Amino acid sequence: MLWGAVLPTADQLSRSKILYFSGKITYALSEIEDAFKRTDPPFEVKVWYARLLSETGRHKDAHDILVQLDPIKESERIGVLFLRNLLRWKMIRQAKMYIPKLDTGTPQYSEVCGDLFFSDKKYRKALKNYLSAVERGGEKGMLYYKAAKAAYRLRKRDDAREYISLSRKHAKSRMILLNLSRFGELL
């Protein structure tokens, strides 16, 4: 009896992830909503559902789920998602209160902190966090691009040029390369 309740949710979670990574976020959300409506879906289903809600603009609903999962106790598993949802929801002050409590030591944590500080126009702290994320092993192309934007806002044009060249060297996305060429023209 226990397996009958768990397997459909696992199948729906797998289908939802396949749809998501195929670029069909709204279909992924509708696939997982049924699993979430069950009496008590597993932790992973709740986290995935909150992530999809956040990415589709339903930030309050995502926040309600994440708060129930206790982001401080589960900081390793959902801390970054919790902060990113608050950032998307424009709840910068509230997110900044959680920063010291949710430090996971991961590049994703440093990147989302950099994004929070950048949104709050604290460019020096943003730059520090982006470079910390690079040191922690994050995706260098995007992080150097963000560092270049922060350096540009700090009027450090030479540093911005250096970060642009580093970003071009490590960029994996054509979109980042396009943004870098346009950004380089400003300098």
Structure tokens at 175: 């979109």
The reported pLDDT for the residue numbered 123 is 97
The reported pLDDT for the residue numbered 171 is 82
Residue numbers in the chain where pLDDT is lower than 70: 1-10, 38-39, 184-187
Nearest Cα neighbor of 63 from 36, 91, 43, 42 is 91
The reported pLDDT for the residue numbered 39 is 65
DSSP H/E element including 25: helix 25-36
Distance CA 50, CA 16 (A): 13
The reported pLDDT for the residue numbered 9 is 57
Structure tokens at 21: 């990574």
Q: Let me know: does 40 contact 5? Beta carbons within 8 Å.
A: no
Residue with the two structure tokens 């994004």: 115
CATH code of the domain occupying 1-89: 1.25.40
Query: 69-94 pLDDT, tens per residue?
Result: 998 888 888 889 999 989 988 898 88
Task: Tell me the domain boundaries of the chain.
Answer: 1-89
